[in-house]
Amino acid sequence: MRIGIIVYSQTENTYSVAKELQRELTSVGRNATIERITIVGEPGQPEKKVEFSVKPDIHPYDELIFAAPVQGFNLSVVMKKYLKQLGSLEGKKVHLLTTKQISNKWTGGNRAINLMNKICRSKGASMGETGIIFWKEKHRKRTTDEALSRILKAI
Ligand SMILES: Cc1cc2nc3c(=O)[nH]c(=O)nc-3n(C[C@H](O)[C@H](O)[C@H](O)COP(=O)(O)O)c2cc1C
């Protein structure tokens, strides 16, 4: 079974979590690949102006983890646009991860997860686990360990 970790990361935090997840999966003999979504031009563009320079193909994967930051109290518009343009996710199991600075889920974390969930479900995905990671030093390790262990158990 092939696992795809599809990441958008503007300042590398979410990417570093994706790498940790990949390391954990590889250490137990799983086949996990990270693919990064990248855009043309500067970050911070409105959704309608976002153009992809790399738009990962999900077809090779049986199981997917979508990971992206919270921006502006919601899911990064890059991940939102990427997910919206995907075709069917029928037959694929999907897990969701988000990272955020403020240590409170109600400042965009739940909204980001709910939006990813809604889009993936609408495309027929079978939904697995989710994780919200608080990037503040004080909470980072605990929330990362919790999120990754939930997802690893479900894969
Ligand atoms: C433009 C912008 C908006 C952000 N908005 C929020 C926010 O609403 N809530 C929050 O908790 N963190 C917010 N952050 C912090 C990021 O979510 C956090 O640093 C995240 O870990 C960055 O992930 P990345 O390095 O993968 O891009 C914002 C960061 C940026 C650059």
- Residue 60 sits in a domain whose CATH number is 3.40.50.360
Using 70 as the pLDDT threshold, list the residues of the chain that sit under it: none
Give the model's pLDDT for residue 98: 98
Query: Residue 112 Cα, ligand 1 centroid: separation in angstroms?
Result: 11
* Full domain range(s) for residue 29: 2-154
Give the model's pLDDT for residue 105: 75
What does the alpha-carbon distance between residue 107 and residue 128 come to, in Å, rounded to a whole number? Answer: 23
| 54 DSSP β-pair partners | 38
State whether residue 6 is helix, strand or coil.
strand
Query: Residue 126 Cα, ligand 1 centroid: separation in angstroms?
Result: 27
User: What separation, in Å, do the N-terminal and C-terminal C-alpha atoms of the chain show?
Assistant: 10
What does the alpha-carbon distance between residue 76 and residue 68 come to, in Å, rounded to a whole number? Answer: 7
Question: Of 133, 127, 131, 135, which is closest to residue 152 (Cα–Cα)?
Answer: 131
Query: Residue 70 Cα, ligand 1 centroid: separation in angstroms?
Result: 5
Ligand 1 atom nearest 104 alpha carbon: 11
Residues 133/97, Cβ–Cβ less than 8 Å: yes
Q: Give, for ligand 1, the residue of 6, 47, 100, 143 to mutate: max count of ligand atoms closer than 8 Å to Cβ.
A: 100
Rg (CA), the chain: 14
Give the model's pLDDT for residue 17: 98
Of all protein residues, the one whose alpha carbon is nearest to atom 5 of ligand 1 is 71
Tell me which residues have their CB closer than 6 angstroms to ligand 1. 9-15, 44, 69-73, 99-102, 107-108, 135
Q: How many domains does the chain have?
A: 1
C-alpha distances out from residue 11 to 15, 30, 70, 147, 155, Å: 8, 27, 12, 20, 27
Q: What is the pLDDT of residues 17-51, one digit of tens each?
A: 999 999 999 999 999 999 999 999 999 999 999 99
Host H or E run for residue 79: helix 77-85
Ligand 1 atom nearest 109 alpha carbon: 11
Give the model's pLDDT for residue 104: 84
